[in-house]
Structure 1
Amino acid sequence: MRRCPMLPVCVLFAMGIVTGWHVRPAVGWLLAALGILALLAWGHARWRIFWGMTLIYLAGWCHIVCRHHPWNPLDLRLLLGDEVAEVEVVGELVESPVSKPLAGGSESELATSAILEIQSLQRERRPPEPACGQIMVTVPEVLDQTFYAGRKVRVRGVLQRPPRAFVPYSFDYRSHLESRGIYYLLRVRRGEDWQLEGGGASQPPWPARFQLWARQALARGQPEVDEPVKLLWAMLLGWRGGLTDEVAEPFMKSGTMHLFAISGLHIGIVAYVLAAFGRTVGLSMLMARLVTLPLMWFYIAAAGWPASAVRAGIMLSVWWGGGLLLRPPQPLNSVCAAAVLILLWEPGQLFQAGFQLSFAVVLGLVLWAPGIGAWLERPTGPDRLALPSHTWLTRCWRLFKQRLVQTVAASFAAWLASAPLVLWHFSWVTPICVLANLVMVPLGFLTLVAGVAGLVSHALWPALGELFNHSAWGLMVLLLYCSEVFADWTFGNWAAARPVWEWLVMYGLLWLGVSVPGLTARWRAVGGAAMVAMVLIWAPVSKALHGSSVTVLPFDDGYSVLLREPGWAALVDTGRPGPARRVVAPFLHAQGLSRLDALIITHGDLGQMGGATFIESEFWPRKVLHGPQWHRSPAYRERLEHSPHRNLHQEVAAGFQLQTWRLLHPARGETTSAADDGVLVWRRLDESGACLLLSDLSRAGQNQLAQRLTASDIKADVLICGLPDQGEPLADGFLQWVQPKLVIVADHLYPATRRAPVTLGRRLARQGVALWCTRECGAVEIQFTKTGWRARAMDGRQAERTQLSGWHPPPSLESED
């Protein structure tokens, strides 16, 4: 404790921030309690340590509550609340707009986002009124360069709270923005709704001008601005437009995403290069660091003050600052002090994945890497490559072995320290990163050096700058190739379910145990081996623990359904390519699924099967099932003709059995007049109860199904359906046959025509049936047990088989056939 006084301060302050994020009492009470504790700590010398530690904890609690409290009476949260309004706002751009490809769209389809500090807003049929607060503005177009940070603009659109995560384990956009102090999202339909106002900055700020100059300098001499050039911009400048999901995927799977301004590694490399150059020209170590620190902060400012770069800058400044003040090196104390400074600057950083991963990796390097390196350097026998000690070759060989051991130790320690966070945030296990970092970090170092040299040379000797640009481009191409090789390495990475709290607690205890000072090397090795085993075996253990379930995943204009049995999983429909990549794939990975046993295509609607090609390539289903009328869908015919897995496709009809699921519709040879008449209908039946998966079956299809089957063949406690193209989803006569207790309708908020009609809710209420609409409740999971089933939605609502009374005929049953 005495050697690292900042450790308890950091831990208590962070615990206070976590408490304040979830519990936000009145600010006055917190400030009063803070003052009382300060007086107690000052007046009671005997209990000063206790009161002081309590004071630090309460300071963190008070800090985040005060940062997010609406102090100004004109705050948007006080003016709007949860209202959704068509508004026209006037404000100043906090940062220059950033354009990125639309999720699931092509590279030519770009969307722009920017943060706006508003000054006034005008709602429909109301006069303008002053307001304050930051909002996120999005528009599905690219804005011209006249819009930049500091400009005053007038924007018209729909102002609302950011959407919450409607699917488990998906990105919670609202929480992400709220941690940054942004509580509203303004959706702008087109670029014409952006207008410049008088006032504000007359020209872009110097970081924006530097960014534009640097991008042009790095692209000089290149035939086109291709993917490697954009990744160079991302690595050197923190540019967010080039790191799309498709490009980032192999880096994430190989555990090397930190190369692209995610953890601030580029800041450390730039600082190391500058300090090494200072040492080369004859400066002392202290003087080289003293010169490097302001240059490093200039580089961070020129990159636009990205959070990852600021984190790295603070950590390095604290680390080197102790040496400049001639203090003995205390790495752990310096890391804790840097964490406190960052949380004082922005307490919401504690909930960002980048912050957590950065400090987990640094702590692993500080606490474990030296011990792992010493263990690897232990002599295990005679060195068969030993050479006479006086030769230069021997010295080079020893230096190479030393650097290799240090790199392996650092890579392994970083992976082991960050493994639970990677599992929690990304649902991936990436042991291949230990090997990948040995190759890709040196490549990234060389790429960064070549890029910086290209920038410097561009201002002095443009021809030499082009040579460095070509070198950086070639190294980036090699970096891309290596990322794909390591990402595709057999058993190098795999998806794993998000760990449960029991697993996290056990891993945390081992994490702390191997970090205790004075622990023998043998016990450290035992603890480290136990941590490695916990990470590697979690995926199969989580699969074995998973029972039978059905999960309805709603998204923009479609939905998917995941069917789970012990050791088996099937996906029903995929949605369009965008939702398939953005919603379905992350959810399947979070379930620990790297491969599907079956992919079921209920019908040929693009909103239901447009992303099937991506799902096939990502999850390699063992078979793809479709109905006998697949040839009626031009989209499905075209996809089947170009599918590289045509041998996996299997046509099925009524009577086909798949685990506990039986196909009820359509029958082979049955004629239909519309696509929604012949969708695949599945029924699950065991001792826990029946579940009917109706898809978008139309009224005509429901009549065919009821005429062909008996009531006992179709009855189900839970009925899951979508919305057919015409008419309401469920007829009263069909409901009388099924007699459900719970109906789940996969509908959508926009457009209004894709919402479940109000009359459906009234009809179900008259018949005593509970109705859950996914536009309101989000994703729904139904878990089946030996005694029944339990349904749980994202908004917190729950239902059990024994709680619902179930269907009963209304006083006067109206036929709607």
Structure 2
Amino acid sequence: MLAKLQRWTRANPLMVMALAATAGILLTELGGLKPGPKWLTGGSAVFLAAAFFGKRPSLLLPGCALVFAFIHETRTDETFRHPLRVMLLGADKPLQATIQGSLLPDFDNTADGRAHALCKTSKIEIPAAGTVIEQEAILLVRLPKGVRFPGAGVFELRGGVYLPRASSNPGAFDAQEYALRNGRVARLDAEGLHRVHGRGEVLWCAFLEAAERCRRWISAQLTKDLEDDPETAAVIRAMALGVSAETDDEIEDAFRNSGTLHVFAVSGLHVGLLGVIALALMRQLGLRRGISLWVTVGLVFVYAFITGWRPSSARAALMVAVFMGAALADRESSLQNSLGAAALLLLGSDTHQLFMPGFQLSFGVLWISAIGSVPLLEKLMPFTQIDPFLPPQLANWRQRASSQARRWFAATLSVSTAAWLGSLPFILGHFQSVTPVAVIANCVLVPLSFLCLGATCLSLCAAALHLSGVQIIFNNVNWAMAKAMVASAAWFAGLPGANFHFKPDADLTNAPAIWRVLELPHGAAANHLRLGDRHWLFDVGDETSFRRVLRPYLHSSGINAVTGVFLSHNDADHVGGVEKVIAEFDRPRLFCSTQEPGAQDSALTTLRRLADSTSDGMLRRLRVDERLTLSDDPRFKAEARVLYPSRQVQNARGDDRAMVVMLHLGPWRVLWLSDAGWNAEKALSSSPADLRCDVLIRSQHELDREMSVEFLLKAAPRVIVCGSDARQPEVQLPDSLVQFARRQNIPLLDTWSDGSIELRLNQDDLRIHPAKTKPQVILTPRE
């Protein structure tokens, strides 16, 4: 074994150095290397000098590790420890600033219809803090309304500077860390700007604008004669250019759930396939090998820039260039060495890429494919051969064609299997997802992607030559391939066991019940209750919240099916995502009050649609005092009892009909209030219902800005948990509630300041863990 390892290291020195660089970056990130930059520089110089002058090649590895540790330390100082970010971490609102720096266009961000740009700062003034920061930083700038990118130059900008809100929901995308890993320290909402002078990133800006014009031209040409099918046209743009904003969410989900999302959006696969197509065309044109390789490398980089120089396409372009560079230098190409060289170059330019899932998947998949696909193919070779008792010369054309088809399938299957095995640890670690169907799905969708990209290239060639008829033919071929890909992805995704989610440490806690209050914006709400292997949802947020928060949370928790969903009232911010829950989480039972949907609710509202469409008893209306058993565990009984609204409640406003539920979870009482406001609180206060609770969970009524003190005294909560959003006055915490909690010395937690909140309910104690604030709240059962 040791001899094999030594042979491998001698054959792949660049891959070994890339692994050493990775080790140095990880040690620095995790705090294993804490010396300052001078010690790292000196240590690396000593090791490298000993390696070169002492002829000790093995010392290159620690030297390489220290070099990349120094690079990562410097990169971290420029982003995570930048003075501006440190200042903003302590601010609860945007800080007014005057910033001077050069601008570059950012065509990928078009939020709220406003143009965006990247600003490389030279000076940041924050008058309120009396601070001037001259350390360079990259900011994402939202330009003033109606202002387009003003062109290259140095500008002075005024506005509020702030950090993207860090996610506190498990499994959700963290915009703040993602921005930092991409080198963007903060965001600026610009209120005004004026040009200081015309110098700046002139050439780079001109290049980016030219790439954007080219991207728009390609988009128009590829969808010519496809205007009557905008859905498929959007799929073609997504696969060719990475423009996925217009694509239907269900189509993207089909590719994701079949493990083939890499063929849907621009990725390293597309860059590699383009390289293969370009080489084939050069060969048909009779060009010499060297010229073909140079042209192919140039086309690959042009494609990467046209598609926005996304990290995936940039990585692939560099890999192709390194791999073909060996051939151009008349050296034998080694995929592992090429991967190592590309990794060293990429990490040398930005060590933060190591922590991006795309980087890990790109190199992990290709490395395992390079190592594992050949042994797998050797195992499958007997399946591909012609009858061993038949001399090859006597085989007829059918037998030879069958053998060739089996060889192609064996090669495709071996690469697909090796790639799936290589991606499995990363997919499981980042997304807690397993897609066994991807092994077969890729055997179908990758060839279709190759044909689709080939039709794209031929269509663009025809467009450049003004052959409109030929262009339309290839566009329709492309359309047919795209339709076949979408249908294939949907079919594979729908197979039993095609994908599931798994979290290795999901059952490490022995708490019989866990309640999670998720942090959602704009007054939306979603809660999850786990009771053993049963999972209940109490509101689900709207469709956007489902996609961005609830679904990633459930998947990251290893949840594939939901037992039931309580729907408080017919408000899209609370129940708008329930149809997605039904489709993706094994059609759970739905529960609402007898007053839903309201008599005046539109036919387009969620609960009205569900009431009209569900004929199999999926939607059940619960009356006041009705009890529902949530768990059969005799050691920890759990049931829900409806307290409000009664049949006498006939309010047109949904918040005034919000269902109120008392949950008995073992020895604990949890009162789920949802958006119920003043009317509900007064009705409950005058009712004979026992409102005493250990935890009160609420979100904010649409109009009622105060809470009934009478109701709070009757409920006598020991902890209050609220969903809120300080950015909008109508969903901020009511002053009466804050004052009551302060007077009664009751812990008041809200998702805006404390993040998502987890309640672990045991027989002997109840532990409440806020995601953003360290002190946890511990209760013991009432006597």
User: By the TM > 0.5 criterion, same fold?
Assistant: yes
Q: CA deviation at 1:724?
A: 2.8
Q: CA deviation at 1:666?
A: 1.7
| Equivalent pair of 1:251/1:487 in contact (CA under 8 Å) | yes
Q: CA deviation at 1:316?
A: 1.9
Q: CA deviation at 1:112?
A: 5.1
Structure 2 CA distance, aligned partners of 1:359 and 1:383?
39
Q: Structure 1 residues 164, 317: closer, same or farther in 2, change over 3 A?
A: same
Q: Structure 1 residues 258, 43: closer, same or farther in 2, change over 3 A?
A: closer
2:516 aligns with 551
Alignment counterpart, residue 399 of structure 1, candidates 392, 399, 404: 404
After superposition, residues 173-184 of structure 1 pair within 5 angstroms as: 173-184=175-186
The answer to whether the aligner puts 1:648 opposite 2:601 as a matched pair is no
Secondary structure at the counterpart of residue 673 of structure 2: strand
Secondary structure at the counterpart of residue 615 of structure 1: helix
Secondary structure at the counterpart of residue 77 of structure 2: coil
Q: CA deviation at 1:63?
A: 0.7
Structure 1 CA distance, aligned partners of 2:442 and 2:436?
11
Q: CA deviation at 1:129?
A: 7.8
Q: CA deviation at 1:732?
A: 4.1
Q: CA deviation at 1:748?
A: 1.0
Structure 1 CA distance, aligned partners of 2:645 and 2:89?
52
Alignment counterpart, residue 657 of structure 1, candidates 610, 614, 628: 628
Structure 2 CA distance, aligned partners of 1:203 and 1:772?
50
2:762 aligns with 785
1:54 aligns with 62
The answer to whether the aligner puts 1:209 opposite 2:213 as a matched pair is yes
Structure 1 CA distance, aligned partners of 2:196 and 2:476?
42
After superposition, residues 190-589 of structure 1 pair within 5 angstroms as: 199=198, 205-223=209-227, 226-239=230-243, 241-243=245-247, 245-283=249-287, 288-378=292-382, 383=387, 389-463=394-468, 464-494=470-500, 496-500=501-505, 547-557=512-522, 558-589=524-555
Q: Structure 1 residues 555, 385: closer, same or farther in 2, change over 3 A?
A: farther
Q: Structure 1 residues 194, 630: closer, same or farther in 2, change over 3 A?
A: farther
Structure 2 CA distance, aligned partners of 1:302 and 1:667?
57
Q: Structure 1 residues 155, 447: closer, same or farther in 2, change over 3 A?
A: farther
Q: Structure 1 residues 118, 34: closer, same or farther in 2, change over 3 A?
A: closer
| Equivalent pair of 2:383/2:406 in contact (CA under 8 Å) | no
TM-score (norm 2): 0.85
Q: Which moved more, 1:118-127 or 1:49-58?
A: 118-127
Secondary structure at the counterpart of residue 214 of structure 1: helix
1:38 aligns with 45
The answer to whether the aligner puts 1:680 opposite 2:659 as a matched pair is yes
- Superposed CA deviations along residues 781-808 of structure 1, whole A, max 9, x for unmatched, are 1122343222212214342535x8999x
Q: CA deviation at 1:414?
A: 1.0
Structure 2 CA distance, aligned partners of 1:156 and 1:690?
51
Q: CA deviation at 1:561?
A: 0.9
Q: Structure 1 residues 589, 81: closer, same or farther in 2, change over 3 A?
A: closer
Structure 2 CA distance, aligned partners of 1:5 and 1:743?
60
Secondary structure at the counterpart of residue 343 of structure 1: helix
| Equivalent pair of 1:602/1:680 in contact (CA under 8 Å) | yes
Structure 2 CA distance, aligned partners of 1:2 and 1:747?
59
- Superposed CA deviations along residues 347-385 of structure 1, whole A, max 9, x for unmatched, are 121121211111121022111111111112235999599
Q: CA deviation at 1:311?
A: 0.4
Structure 2 CA distance, aligned partners of 1:341 and 1:247?
35
Secondary structure at the counterpart of residue 594 of structure 2: coil
Q: Percent identity over the alignment?
A: 23
2:6 aligns with none
Amino acid in structure 2 at the alignment position of 1:199: G
1:691 aligns with 670
Q: Structure 1 residues 635, 167: closer, same or farther in 2, change over 3 A?
A: farther
Structure 2 CA distance, aligned partners of 1:490 and 1:697?
41
Structure 2 CA distance, aligned partners of 1:676 and 1:234?
40
Q: CA deviation at 1:663?
A: 1.5
| Equivalent pair of 1:38/1:52 in contact (CA under 8 Å) | no
The answer to whether the aligner puts 1:743 opposite 2:727 as a matched pair is no
| Equivalent pair of 2:99/2:125 in contact (CA under 8 Å) | yes
- Superposed CA deviations along residues 282-316 of structure 1, whole A, max 9, x for unmatched, are 45656533442233223333434222111011212
1:611 aligns with 577
Structure 2 CA distance, aligned partners of 1:187 and 1:227?
33
1:639 aligns with 606
- Superposed CA deviations along residues 476-533 of structure 1, whole A, max 9, x for unmatched, are 2222222222222232223x14444xxxxxxxxxxxxxxxxxxxxxxxxxxxxxxxxx
Q: CA deviation at 1:344?
A: 1.0
Structure 2 CA distance, aligned partners of 1:806 and 1:159?
48
Structure 1 CA distance, aligned partners of 2:492 and 2:509?
28
Q: Which moved more, 1:36-45 or 1:623-632?
A: 36-45
1:171 aligns with 173
| Equivalent pair of 1:167/1:583 in contact (CA under 8 Å) | yes
Secondary structure at the counterpart of residue 198 of structure 2: strand
Alignment counterpart, residue 161 of structure 1, candidates 163, 188, 203: 163
Secondary structure at the counterpart of residue 518 of structure 2: strand
1:524 aligns with none
Structure 2 CA distance, aligned partners of 1:14 and 1:49?
18
- Superposed CA deviations along residues 171-226 of structure 1, whole A, max 9, x for unmatched, are 0000000001101123469xxx6888873659674323322332233233443682
- Superposed CA deviations along residues 664-717 of structure 1, whole A, max 9, x for unmatched, are 41264454767545432223334453322222233443343344446xx43332
Q: Structure 1 residues 499, 324: closer, same or farther in 2, change over 3 A?
A: farther
Secondary structure at the counterpart of residue 602 of structure 1: coil
| Equivalent pair of 1:447/1:476 in contact (CA under 8 Å) | yes
The answer to whether the aligner puts 1:666 opposite 2:644 as a matched pair is yes
| Equivalent pair of 1:742/1:806 in contact (CA under 8 Å) | no
Secondary structure at the counterpart of residue 665 of structure 1: strand
Structure 2 CA distance, aligned partners of 1:773 and 1:371?
55
1:97 aligns with 107
Amino acid in structure 2 at the alignment position of 1:588: L
Q: CA deviation at 1:466?
A: 2.9
Amino acid in structure 1 at the alignment position of 2:118: I
Q: CA deviation at 1:168?
A: 1.3
Q: Which consecutive unaligned segments of at least 5 residues does structure 1 have?
A: 103-108, 501-540, 808-817
State the superposition RMSD in angstroms: 3.8
Alignment counterpart, residue 567 of structure 2, candidates 566, 590, 601: 601
Q: Which consecutive unaligned segments of at least 5 residues does structure 2 have?
A: 1-8, 631-637
Q: CA deviation at 1:645?
A: 2.5
Structure 2 CA distance, aligned partners of 1:443 and 1:195?
50
Q: Which moved more, 1:12-21 or 1:125-134?
A: 125-134
Amino acid in structure 1 at the alignment position of 2:518: L
TM-score (norm 1): 0.82
1:115 aligns with 118
- Superposed CA deviations along residues 759-793 of structure 1, whole A, max 9, x for unmatched, are 53343233231111111011111122343222212
Q: Structure 1 residues 301, 764: closer, same or farther in 2, change over 3 A?
A: closer
Structure 2 CA distance, aligned partners of 1:651 and 1:177?
45
Q: Structure 1 residues 733, 206: closer, same or farther in 2, change over 3 A?
A: closer
